[in-house]
Amino acid sequence: MANDTTIQIPTVQLHDGGEIPLVGTGTLFAKGNELADLLAQTIRDGYRLLDTAAQYANEGAVGEAIRRSGVPRNEIFLTTKVAGMDQGHHLTRRGLVESLRRLNTDYVDLLLIHWPNPSRGLAVETWAEMLELQAEGLVTHVGVSNFLPHQIEELHAATGVWPVVDQIQLSPALARTELRAFLAARGIVAQGWRPLGGHEQPMGQIITGKIARRLGVDVSQVVLRWAVQQGIVVIPSSGNPTRWHANADLFGFELTAQDMIDLATLDLGEDAAWDATTHEEW
């Protein structure tokens, strides 16, 4: 499907032998017909990694976008997530079957546990069921989202399997350095949600502006390049089609070692991130 205007996005290896595009698109910016149209265009433009979740109530539109795009399903890397209320034995399976129906597909490429929700104590059961679903071919890769090291270790202790991905709140303003070192040591790919930084506003800082001007790129590209240069997968979302190309056009320039040192000064520290030991989403 590639043509001259299609964005080319490199991939990174997953520890189970698969690979995932370094840049994808989030889907939180719209729902319904609007999302289906915009996302179909994003796919035609070259994005292949799509991030949705049962909790976003937009899986139907994501499935429709894939259909409208005309791009074959096997060229798409589709991620969805187990909702809080779908955690636990049997419920995880039921939740995935419902997601597949809404997405109009018979498998997802990556299934994540959306939040660990420690007060419910169902993450290990959920993980074990996800491994069954993977063995049955309904899910190609299994991972987690918003998990901290001790929460990942619990999954591994019970099953012997590490997630391939941990999707976490991540930007130069929330660099999650220790968490990322834990993930890297186990071959788990870090994937950044809210990679443009949201309220922490790394795009509004003097240093990002200075680097962007020197390189002749947008500040958003500096912020996203900080991630992909370190092998972090990003899933920026935009309802503005003119921004899609810039958000994936990250591979024709490089940040210097000094840029990385300067950007490290923006890190607000782990305490500024949503705390997965207390924040729960059902």
**Residues taking part in catalysis:** 56
Residue 151 binds to ligand NAP (criterion: CB under 6 A)? no
x/- string (CB under 6 A) for ligand NAP, residues 33-72?
A: ------------------x---------------------
- Whichever of 93 and 225 has its CB closer to ligand NAP, that residue is 225
Task: Say how far apart CA 192 and CA 84 lie, in whole Å.
Answer: 20
Minimum distance from residue 269 beta carbon to ligand NAP (Å) = 19
Minimum distance from residue 80 beta carbon to ligand NAP (Å) = 10
Q: Which residues 152-171 are close enough to bind ligand NAP by CB under 6 A? A: 167
- Whichever of 14 and 112 has its CB closer to ligand NAP, that residue is 112
Joined together, the tokens standing for residue 25 give: 């698109």
Joined together, the tokens standing for residue 269 give: 């520290």
Q: Is 37 exposed, middle or buried (CB count within 10 Å of its CB: 0-12, 13-18, 19+)?
A: middle
| 77: three-class secondary structure by DSSP | strand
- Whichever of 182 and 244 has its CB closer to ligand NAP, that residue is 244
Task: Say how far apart CA 109 and CA 96 lie, in whole Å.
Answer: 12
Q: Which residues 120-139 are close enough to bind ligand NAP by CB under 6 A? A: none
Residue 89: left (phi > 0), alpha (psi -120 to 50), or beta? beta
Pick from 193, 211, 259, 276 the residue near ligand NAP by CB under 6 A. Answer: 193
Joined together, the tokens standing for residue 6 give: 């299609």
Residues 132/139, Cβ–Cβ less than 8 Å: no
**Measured at CB, which residue is nearest to ligand NAP?**
26
Q: Which residues 224-263 are close enough to bind ligand NAP by CB under 6 A? A: 235-240, 243, 246-247
Minimum distance from residue 274 beta carbon to ligand NAP (Å) = 8
Nearest to 191 by CA among 147, 125, 129: 147
Task: Say how far apart CA 207 and CA 190 lie, in whole Å.
Answer: 24
Joined together, the tokens standing for residue 174 give: 């929330």
Residues found in the chain: 282
Count of residues of this chain found to bind ligand NAP when the rule CB under 6 A is applied = 24
- Whichever of 161 and 246 has its CB closer to ligand NAP, that residue is 246
Task: Say how far apart CA 281 and CA 112 lie, in whole Å.
Answer: 14
Minimum distance from residue 28 beta carbon to ligand NAP (Å) = 3
Residue 146 binds to ligand NAP (criterion: CB under 6 A)? yes
Minimum distance from residue 252 beta carbon to ligand NAP (Å) = 16
- Whichever of 29 and 253 has its CB closer to ligand NAP, that residue is 29
**DSSP state at residue 193:** E
- Whichever of 230 and 238 has its CB closer to ligand NAP, that residue is 238
Residues 206/181, Cβ–Cβ less than 8 Å: no
> Please, what is the angle between helix 219-228 and helix 241-248, to 10°?
40
Q: Which residues 10-29 are close enough to bind ligand NAP by CB under 6 A? A: 26-29
**Interface residues toward ligand NAP, by CB under 6 A:** 26-29, 51, 145-146, 167, 193-196, 198, 218, 220, 235-240, 243, 246-247
